[in-house]
Structure 1
Amino acid sequence: MTQTPIADRAKPGVQRAFSPATSRGARILLIALVLLSFGLRMWQIEAKSIWWDESLSLYRAQKSVPYILSNRIDFPGSSTTDLHPPLYFLLLHYLTDLSGERDLVLRLPSVAFATLIVPLLYALGRRLRGVRAGMLAALFGALSPFYLWYAQEVRMYTMVTALGLASVYCLWRAFTEQKWSWALGFGLAASAAMTTQYLFGLIIVCEVPLAFFLWSRPSTLSRGANSAQPQQRMKWIWGAAVLLVVLPILVYQALGIALWPQAGRWYVSPGIMVRDALNSFSLGLSVDLQQVWFLDIVFALVFVVGVLSIWQNPPRLTIQGDRKALFRGRGIGLTLLVGYIFIPIVGMWLYSLLSPLYMGSRYVIMCSPAFYLGLGVGIDALAGRRRSLGWLAGAVLVASMSMSIYRYFYHERYRTKEDYRSAAQFIVANERVGDAILVTAPENMTAFMHYYAGELPVGGMPPVSLAEKLDADELARQMAEWVHPYDRVWLVHCRTQHSDPDNLVTRWLDDHAMLLERKAFPSYGSPVTLSAYMPRSPIQGQTSAGVEAIGTFGDRLSLLDYAVRYKDFDDVVRGFSAREARDSMEPIESAGAIEPGKVVSAIFHWRPERELGNYKVSLRLVDSEGTSWAQRDRLPYMYYPTAQWPVGAQIYHEADLPIPLGTPPGLYHLQCWIYEADTGRSFSFQEFAGGQQDSFLDLGPLVVGEVQAGFPVDAFLPDGVQKTRLATVFGGDIELFAFHLTPSSAEPGEVLGLDLYWRARRAISRDYQVVINWEDERGTVWHTATYSPLGVDYPTSRWQAGAMLRGVLRVQVPEAALPGTHRIHLLIYAPNEEEFLWLRRGPIPWWGRDLSLAEITVQ
């Protein structure tokens, strides 16, 4: 490719690099690549929960500025020095102060710096070889799965990479253009990179020979050099001065890392480092090396072609083309492509001989720009010899990177790194009065608390120094003291190799408490395991047959007593006893209302009258029409089935039922059903006091409070519902998020369940009705029925702006329905105005008036 010199407007004798000009089309293409890079890095940026490494960044960002500058990390009983200097954490500190701690906010700096790498690759590649090579390097940087991985991580790796590349670019221009501003830019960028990650010092080592080859000498300058030139060359001292102020302090701090505990670090050979770097730079971390090694070889070959091309055709910095200029050009090219990668790796290996340091390819990410520059030059060289060969090689590389990107977003293995979010959400959805949370180990607390939005007390165990030998007896005493006040303890367990390598906390709970349930959340990193324990035995001693009971299920299981408890809107513990409920089935004034989204629990005291089978207990929330709004069926104890309960013993059992978000306010009743787990056969409840017998036990009335707005839509919509793909709004007032109709096949007279998930777009002053039209196979509407939008007495005129409500309609298949397929349509009717509301779908303001929901097969 022909190279065109930049117009030289400097004084005579000032050196200029030969660099092709960027055309308008190239600028547009570069902007497109930058936007592509930004879009990829922002796509699903909050899909993966933060993991332990990211939580360290959040932990430091949450502290005060003096604390961040101290570089300390303090866990209960432990104080350590962080492996990374403070600049990134200061940036994160001020950003979170302004914008909060959402995952999007936390990851935004990583995205910004990963995007900045793209134009820097182009600028440096253009000077190294030409516009096409620079554009190709920018393309590979934009598509890099490695950059994507760390752009969506709350760590400093993309920041140090971008700042390092910026320092190299400024160094190039400082020496080739002899401007103090570029020299100062180099000093600032290098200092910022060094205060972002200590390992950047290895890049500075690489920049020393690069500066040597970039340094202009009188014999290599164009004719007309004069005595003023040495004065021009001294302008680089501005940058060196800035760097020298920062460097000694940071080198001293970096050497102190050798004294840091070596848990999780071990010696790694330079060969493994090179292998990790090649695979990560090529295809990132979302592939299996054993399956894609041949693609890594393709990337390596293209890179080698780029290095050979630079040797044969090095960058030109002067007008003259003598041997010294050739030597300098080759030195620049090889330092930038080969030294940029291998000098830091060798330096890291030498340091590891003193103290193990390498902990994965993220430690060499700062070297990666050289690889993409080499790929760009390699493809450019291949295209220069044979265009089709260059296109083919480039297509293979792009396709390989795209495959890795797809796996990163959609392969189950890479769905998340450590799933604290799911663990926290599961607890929030199931926590009840008397619960507490224990996190192992304390260093995992920040990651868990970032997602936990509940109200339970949270503690960390064991509170000891990292990598220090645990005193098992002392830990046992602390554990017994900690769990004693609570009825149920949730244990969040993940990566305990630092604080509890022998899992003493989990083992103590397994030995001294009853395991109620255990749920694992798999991930790419360490799996998060959530366990629930009851600190006391459920057997509360033997009772005589003469002890008065409330009633019995099937003459098998007597109920001695029960109580219902929950928290109201003010987080005050409310509830009622069996006596209060049996005396009156009207709402109990002292009980208060429960908020949708919270959990109501029922505490039972059972007595087996004879040997039992395997039974399940079902708690149900029903309205006055008998419609079920919530139901949870479970074994009383997963690992202590009713078949093992001793006859005559008093058994303690607590069942719970989450009240779904969107449940309309009103009066409901809490029911208890008991049935055989294997057959589903239920037992009727015989009440002793009044002799009343029913299929269930009515535990008492429960008032659900006024619906509160502000919860996320994902929490509102359960799994299995059919979402409306476009915004579905009736009359500008009511939006339908989703629906669920079951069953899809029925006989005439059978009742279908239709769940509707609504949101009030604004405060509604009118009362609306839902109209269901039945349409036959010929398209004729042959039956119409009218319902309340929620199926209960809570008219739309009471809906507040933003309120999200769930409706449960009991739709009866008309007796006159003929066998065949029928389609159900939904409309909203305003009876006072005697009109149907217009339906807006997505961008279409007047879609019609009816929404086609589903097909029903009538048998």
Structure 2
Amino acid sequence: MTSHQRLVLVIAAGLILLAAGVRFSSLGAQSLWNDEGNSYGQSLRTPADIALNAAADIHPPGYYWLLAGWRVLTGESEFALRSLSALASVLSATLAYALGKRLYGDTAGLAAMAVVAVNTFSITYAQEARMYALLALFAAASTWALIDILTTPRWRGATALALTTAGGLYTNYAFAGVLATHAVFGLLWLGWALTHRRRAGRVIRLTALGYGAAVVLYLPWLRIALTQITHWSSTGDPVPLSEALPVAFGWLTVGPTYATVGISVGVVLLLALGLYSVRPPASAPPPPIPRALALALPPLWVALTVTGFLALDLFRPANLKFLLPAQIATALWMGRGAWVLWHFPAVRDGRRIQRLTRAVAILTVFAVMWGARGGISALHTDPRYQRDDYRGIAQAIAADGQPDAAVILNAPGQIEVFGYYAARFGPAWELAPLPIGLTVDVQATQAAVRDLIARHDRIYAVLWGVNERDPQAVVESVLNTEAFPIDERWFGSVRLVRYVTPQQTGQTLDVDGAFTFPGGQIVLESAAISATEIEPGGALNLTLEWRADAVPPANYKITVQLLDSGGVLVTQRDAEPVAYQRPTRTWAPGEIIVDRHALLIPNDSTPAQYRLMIGFYNPDHPGERLPVSPDGDLLLLADINVHMGN
């Protein structure tokens, strides 16, 4: 082994360690989210059941089969479930080196590997228990196998092509973009071979055998795949090319964090030079692939993938993951740019300034890697890149100390991901997937919610995509009118709403008041409370009936506050009426609005007498409350006696 080879080996090993470090570091820090819960649920099934469930979805079963075996070997922690993707991503970075070296040389291979190692697009899906990192791995591996056949046609390449192509097809249908690239590139190579009178028969036979064997391996799933693809409705958003292309460019070159760290001059320079045709030194061995074809492969791969993505109307942030194979191509493109810099024919006084151009190449690649630090950090610290926190939701419910609680889960797939955490934090919780039916069965759903209200003291609603899953808000309508909402919190894009169920008939309060807004009044017609004597940790259930004599000009919020004898706030609940379902601007004059609230008494409350107050305010001007007769801006509902239990 020469000193050059040893140096290349050391650098490659260092880049492998870097790629592994940024992928396996904090791998289990974030909660599993909805889609990862689906992966976990699939991994618990038998291979036959995995296939049956995948047939009813839009993803083929290959990744789930692998994950099921991986789970048996490594366990069920977040780290273990995601480690398959992390390993696949590290191998993808290694294959980027192998491809770059095969097409251009060591310099290009190392630079491509460095780009993949720090790209946050690659890192994001390396840290997710989904199939996209595996998709990128099969894309890189199958492309390497094709290049291997074109350069040294042997059975090894045909076998690798068959296995990696079948693996890609069984992993995700986005692998079709890789096959399109292979087809166009193969035809270009064939045209070159025929033009230059090169023998192509063995290459054609081995390539046909490789793809043919992949088709045979895929035949059991082919009919299902065609059905799924042809019946899959578009999930993209109509976005102009002027908006879509910069986003795709940012994700492929830097990753989703490009909006945070920007796109450096080094990235643009490497891409520009990657299209520059430069002759290698005379001492270099002849290229295995014609220089023009090798130069064209990465841009061709990127162009075909992005064009297909946009042509199929797939563009939206959640679908950009289908472009992940093209990130390997982008890294090869930038790697070739580094190779061009390394061999750039800079001349002074008739001599090549080789050391200068090589120093620029090293500094440019290093600058790209150094600039990625902020993006890698942002993946773990910036809320924009955080996954929905189902673990945090389960911990919040467990902190309430209600082992017999009911948890309503409204979105498909939530039962798997929340069940994963419920087994850890609340094994006795009743998990209720609601509403009932893909097209909501209103009566059955209402009956199921009422049954939960009758059997549980506390109900927690874990809500995601309500407008799509429950457009009539059947679940929340029953809860907001027949139970008492405590509060709501957001965990990413998932909303947790806590409810207390009516365990007491309650008592009517002798109170009235009118809140004045410009042009009218909101009158409190009646008020009832569950009790005026309560222990710390208990909940006050409050039922209010409102009537407005004109349509209010703003959507006012109600504030329910518990104050001590000195007027200091102890606890409060702020919300729009009927848990945001009846904003005040929707009230008709004279309409009676029944509005329910629950107020939790803090566990550390001192036994004493407190005052329960209510008021209205405009959330655009929260410091200005509506005046209430006779004077002031808060209305006293009742004195509450907090005492210790026996």
TM-score range relative to shorter protein? 0.7 to 0.9
Whole-angstrom CA distance in 1 between matches of 2:434 and 2:541:
32
Aligned to 1:333: 295
User: How far is 1:248 from its partner?
Assistant: 5.7
- Inter-partner Cα distance in structure 2 for 1:507 and 1:200: 44
Aligned residues of 2:272 and 2:337 also touching (Cα < 8 A): yes
Q: CA deviation at 1:672?
A: 6.6
Contact persistence 2:407–2:461 (CA under 8 A): yes
1:379 to 334, 338, 342: 338
CA separation in 2, counterparts of 1:602 and 1:696?
A: 9
Tell me if the contact between 1:41 and 1:148 (Cα under 8 Å) persists in the aligned partners: yes
Query: Rg: which structure is higher?
Result: 1
Q: What are the Cα deviations for residues 206-247 of structure 1, in whole angstroms up to 9, with x where unaligned?
A: 11233345559588589xx9xxx9568644444233123145
Structure 1 equivalent of residue 28 of structure 2: 46
Higher helix share: 2
Q: Does 1:673 align with 2:607?
A: yes
The CA deviation at 1:509 is 2.0
Matches of 2:12 and 2:197, distance apart in 1: 33
Give how far 1:337 is off.
1.0
Question: SS in structure 2 opposite 1:63?
Answer: coil
Counterpart position of 2:409 = 439
- Paired residue type of 2:464: C
Q: Per the alignment, do residues 472 and 221 of structure 1 end up closer, same or farther by CA in structure 2, a change over 3 Å counting?
A: same
Residue aligning to 2:271 = 303
C-alpha contact 2:486 2:499 (8 A) present in aligned 1: yes
**Aligned CA-pair RMSD:** 4.2
Instruction: Give distance in 1, aligned partners of 2:102 and 2:539.
Output: 75
Q: Structure 1 pair 341/271, CA: closer, same or farther in 2 (3 Å)?
A: farther
- Corresponding residue for 1:533? 499
Shift in CA distance, 247/211, structure 1 to aligned 2, threshold 3 Å: farther
Write out per-residue CA displacement over residues 726-761 of structure 1, whole angstroms, 9 at most, x where no aligned residue.
xxxxxxxxxxxxxxxxxxxxxxxxxxxxxxxxxxxx
Cα distance change, pair 436–616 in 1 and its aligned pair in 2 (3 A) = farther
Q: Aligned equivalents of 2:485 and 2:247: distance in 1?
A: 42
- CA deviations on 1:180-199 (whole Å, 9 max, x unpaired) are 01211111111101110112
Q: 1:478 aligns with which of 438, 448, 460?
A: 448
Task: Name which of 255, 258, 270 aligns with 1:284.
Answer: 255
Q: Equivalent of 1:191, from 161, 166, 180?
A: 166
C-alpha contact (below 8 Å) 2:82/2:129 kept by paired residues: yes
2:420 is paired with a residue of what secondary structure? helix
Q: 1:488 to 1:636 in 2, by over 3 A?
A: farther
Which of 392, 395, 400 in structure 2 is aligned with 1:430?
Answer: 400
Alignment CA distance shift 1:46-1:315 (3 Å): farther
CA 1:262/1:534 → structure 2, altered by over 3 Å: closer, same or farther? farther
| Contact preservation (8 Å) 1:147, 1:158 | yes
Establish whether residue 63 from structure 1 lines up as the match of residue 34 from structure 2: no
Q: Which residue in 1 is equivalent to 2:140? A: 165
Corresponding residue number in structure 2 for 1:516: 486
- Which residue identity lines up with residue 420 of structure 1 in the other structure? Y
Which consecutive residues of structure 2, in runs of 5 or more, have no partner in the other structure? Answer: 345-356, 510-528, 543-559, 577-596, 613-640
The one-letter amino acid paired with 1:699 is G
Q: How far apart are 1:349 and its partner, in Å?
A: 3.6
Question: Residues 407-806 of structure 1 correspond to what in structure 2 (within 5 A)?
Answer: 407-414=378-385, 416-432=386-402, 434-452=404-422, 453-454=425-426, 455-465=428-438, 468=439, 470=440, 472=442, 474-521=444-491, 523=492, 526=493, 528-536=494-502, 540-541=506-507, 614-615=562-563, 635=571, 673-674=607-608, 676=610, 699-700=645-646
Cα distance, 1:427 vs structure 2: 0.7
DSSP 3-state at the match of 1:118: helix
Contact map agreement 1:538 1:653 (CA 8 A) in 2: no
Q: Distance in 1 between matches of 2:3 and 2:180?
A: 31
Give the C-alpha shift of residue 56 in structure 1: 2.3
Q: Work out the CA distance in 2 between the residues paired with 1:382 and 1:275.
A: 25
Residue 576 of structure 1: aligned partner = none
In the superposition, relative to structure 1, how do residues 428 and 187 fare at CA in structure 2: closer, same or farther (>3 Å)?
Answer: same
* CA apart distance, 1:165: 0.5
Letter in structure 2 aligned against 1:367 = A
CA-to-partner distance for each residue in 1:106-158, whole Å, 9 max, x for gaps? 10111001100122111111122211111111111111111111111111111
**What are the superposed Cα offsets for residues 639-669 of structure 1, whole Å, 9 maximum, x if unpaired?**
89xxxxxxxxxx99986859xxxxxxxxxxx
- Mapped to 2, the partners of 1:371 and 1:32 lie a distance apart of 21
- State the secondary structure of the residue aligned to 2:506: strand
Higher relative strand content? 1
Alignment counterpart, residue 139 of structure 1, candidates 114, 125, 129 = 114
Q: Percent identity?
A: 20
Greater shift, 146-155 or 62-71, is seen at 62-71
Partners of 2:33 and 2:390 within 8 A in 1: yes
CA contact under 8 A between 1:337 and 1:371: conserved in structure 2?
yes
Change in CA separation of 1:88 and 1:231 when aligned onto 2, cut-off 3 Å: closer
Equivalent pairs counted in the alignment come to 543
Partner AA of 1:63 in structure 2? R
Q: In the alignment, residue 425 of structure 1 is paired with which amino acid?
A: Q
Change beyond 3 A, Cα 1:484–1:345: same
Tell me if structure 2 keeps the 8 A contact 1:273–1:361. Answer: no
Equivalent of 2:306, from 342, 345, 353? 345
- Matches of 1:448 and 1:234, distance apart in 2: 51
Is 2:319 the counterpart of 1:360?
Answer: yes
Task: Supply the AA of the counterpart residue of 1:418.
Answer: D
**Partner Cα distance (1:134, 1:240) in 2:** 26
Cα deviation code 1:578-623 (max 9, x no counterpart): xxxxxxxxxxxxxxxxxxxxxx9669999xxxxx994569xxxxxx
Counterparts of 1:479 and 1:239 in 2: how far apart (Å)?
Answer: 56
Say if 1:539 and 1:652, in contact at 8 Å, map to a contact too. Answer: no
Which stretch of structure 1 is more off in the superposition, 202-211 or 87-96?
Answer: 202-211
Q: Does 1:406 align with 2:377?
A: yes
Check whether the contact 2:153–2:202 (CA below 8 A) recurs between aligned residues. no
- Counterparts of 1:50 and 1:307 in 2: how far apart (Å)? 41
In structure 1, the gaps of 5 or more residues are: 1-5, 7-19, 74-80, 544-556, 564-599, 607-611, 618-632, 641-650, 659-670, 679-694, 701-859
Q: Indicate how the Cα distance of structure 1 residues 194 and 315 shifts in structure 2: closer, same or farther if over 3 A, else same.
A: farther
How far 1:369 moved relative to its partner?
0.9
TM-score (normalised: structure 2): 0.73
